[in-house]
Chains A and B, each alone.
Chain A
Amino acid sequence: MSMDFSEFKRRLGAEPRSRDPDLVAARDASPENRALAEEAERFETRLEDAVSVAVPGDLVDTIRAIPKRAGPRRTLWPVALAASFLVAVGAAGVAWQMNRGWDSVEDYVADHYRHDGDRLVAESLQARRGDVHALLAEYGLDATPEMADVVSLVKRCPTPGGTGVHMVLHTESGPLTVIYMPDTAVTDHATMAFDDKAVVLVQLERGSAAIIGQARSPVETYYAIVHDGIVALAGRS
């Protein structure tokens, strides 16, 4: 049974590139249908152009490197990891002014680090990645030479207020993770812990940061590096 114009229009609007025999036959059923099909084809081309996104040149190679980074399969690790998820948050009173997603800054820091913190530390050991000056500049900030020298990996990351900056610093005591949160206020110098990690929070002139390291690493001694190392860009207040 042939398709009426209304049904043809509906099918064409739903799947304009379909090769369904009924739809193909209906395209040539009348000049009106043919014109509609040609216009739909043009619209679809524009739609495909509109959703087109430039893909990073290193994307596929980065994905292909995942098995090496992931290491051998260890089937029992999730169980062990779950058992270790006894969060010991000994946090001081944290001023949480951006309570729009996570329940607290501790919640955010732990959740964020568990998501990809260890993976990024591992990646940072392989090669330097990212431009700390360029990324901080997007927030009107810069890194002092002392700070920039020890940053091995820098990338954008989700924060309670939108996006921020995730950095891995290579220090004499091992790698440290610093998460810069542009729209979040914290209690300066507050400490907390989760899993096997220790955290010190830093209130900056603009935004705040969390320094995350191994539980027995001297994360607090790096307070000054971050507090003094992330500065407002010259001419930006």
Chain B
Amino acid sequence: MTTEDGRTATFDELARTYGADLFRYAVWLCGNDALAKDLVQETYLRAWKALGSLKDPKAAKSWLITILRREYARTFERKVPHFTDVDTVIVPDDAELEPDDRAELRLLRDGIRRLAPKYRDPLLLQVVMGCSCQEIADELGISKSAVMTQLFRAREQLKQKLQKDGVTGNVHGLF
């Protein structure tokens, strides 16, 4: 296998392993699936060009997240895209759900969208990208303790929103 073949194989692996999660994360960043797809493609284009700088395969996820977040900031540094009604831009895989469950998910999505960035960012990195508290702390440049506090508060705010809107359902015990 040539060096170029190895590089392509590594890139393929990164595409298969992280492409879908990065797209989901990008949708939540942009609020728009078309822009998210572009953002992910731009991220991988930059990753391809800089693949030689990825020395530790275990760091690939964090490396890609960093590229994506930088690319997002660069693209939208002067104009944050308007995040419209979450259900019109996020295409959920919830066709099989009961109406009550669908309503609860809508409220949760709306709640996530309305969270302050300092709560939403770590929550999405954890729930969408599967990052540990330490990985989130490294990505956001804050302490692990601060990340844990923000994650706890993010979930508390979401639970309070469900309670306020009369949806207690499966989570009544938490209130």
Contacts and interface: CB of A to CB of B under 8 A. Distances in A.
**A and B from one assembly?**
yes
Contacts of A48: 127
Q: Interface majority SS on B: helix, strand, loop or mixed? A: helix
Interface string A83-109: 000000000000000001110000000
Which of B104, B124, B155 has the most A CB atoms < 10 Å from its CB?
Answer: B155
Interface in B14-42: 15-16, 19-20, 23-24, 27-28, 32-35, 37-38, 40-42
A24 interface: no
Contacts of A174: none
A60 B23 CA distance: 10
Interface stretch (A37-45, A196-204, A206-214, A220-228): A37-45
B67 interface: no
- Which secondary structure dominates where chain A touches chain B? helix
A46 B32 CA distance: 22
A10 B41 contact: no
B49 interface: yes
Contact of B78 (A10, A62, A101): A101
B145 to A, nearest CB: 10
Contacts of A158: 35, 75-76, 79, 81
A47 B127 contact: yes
A172 interface: no
Interface in B59-90: 75-76, 78-79, 81-82, 90
B-side interface size class:
35 or more
B32 A63 contact: no
Given A36-B174, A46-B105, A70-B45, A52 B152 contact: no
Interface in B145-175: 147-149, 151-152, 155-156, 158-159, 170-174
Most buried by B among A16, A51, A52, A156: A51
A53 B27 contact: yes
A175 interface: no
A15 B81 contact: no
Contact of A60 (B15, B75, B92, B126): B15
Given A43-B170, A66-B44, A67-B48, 14 more contacts: A14-B147, A14-B148, A16-B155, A39-B170, A39-B171, A43-B171, A49-B105, A51-B28, A56-B37, A60-B20, A62-B37, A63-B40, A70-B49, A156-B34
The 10 closest A-B pairs by CB, nearest first: A101-B79, A50-B108, A156-B34, A13-B152, A39-B173, A14-B148, A63-B15, A14-B151, A54-B91, A162-B82
25 contacts: A13-B155, A14-B133, A15-B151, A39-B171, A43-B170, A46-B104, A46-B105, A46-B170, A47-B108, A50-B92, A51-B128, A53-B33, A53-B91, A53-B92, A56-B23, A56-B33, A60-B20, A66-B11, A66-B48, A70-B49, A101-B78, A101-B79, A116-B42, A158-B79, A160-B79
